[in-house]
Structure 1
Amino acid sequence: MTKIADLRSQTVDQLSDELLKLKKEQFNLRFQAATGQMEKTHRVSEVRKDIARISTLLREKRAAS
């Protein structure tokens, strides 16, 4: 799980890159779940929450500029 203080210090470009990385991970986790190969089931909810955090911060930063 990513800490919010670490995310707030990042730029919009860095946050966008992190969001893209997390969305790819989410896709891979869904694929693993569908094929029955998932080992860390808790990671699904962590990734979903991190995506929400980053999306919120991106919206805040874009509105502020």
Structure 2
Amino acid sequence: MNAAELRDKTPDQLRDQLTQLKKEAFNLRFQQATSQLENTARMRAVKRDTARVMTILNEKAAEAAAPEA
């Protein structure tokens, strides 16, 4: 997932994506705690994707709140 793909999505789609990523992060943490996690690199990727989605959401919110002059 890259930022260009995310910028094309609506805020509602981004929120849904964020929810899915948070659920996946929870499941990965649970797998790690029970020593069942096979792909440890996926945790890092999910964290970064979550941050990326949140950044794009904040950009869109700031863009919408900015006064049009």
TM-score, L = length of structure 1: 0.96
Distance 1:6 1:55 in 2: 14
Gaps of at least 5 residues in structure 1 are none
**Per-residue deviation, 1:4:** 1.1
Instruction: Give the alignment's Cα RMSD to 1 decimal.
Output: 0.5
Which structure has the bigger radius of gyration? Answer: 2
How many residue pairs get matched?
Answer: 64
Give ranges in structure 2 of 5+ residues lacking alignment.
65-69
What stretches of structure 1 move > 2 A for 4+ residues in a row? none
So what's the TM-score if we normalise by structure 2?
Answer: 0.91
- Matched position secondary structure for 2:37: coil
Aligned residue in 1 for 2:2: 3
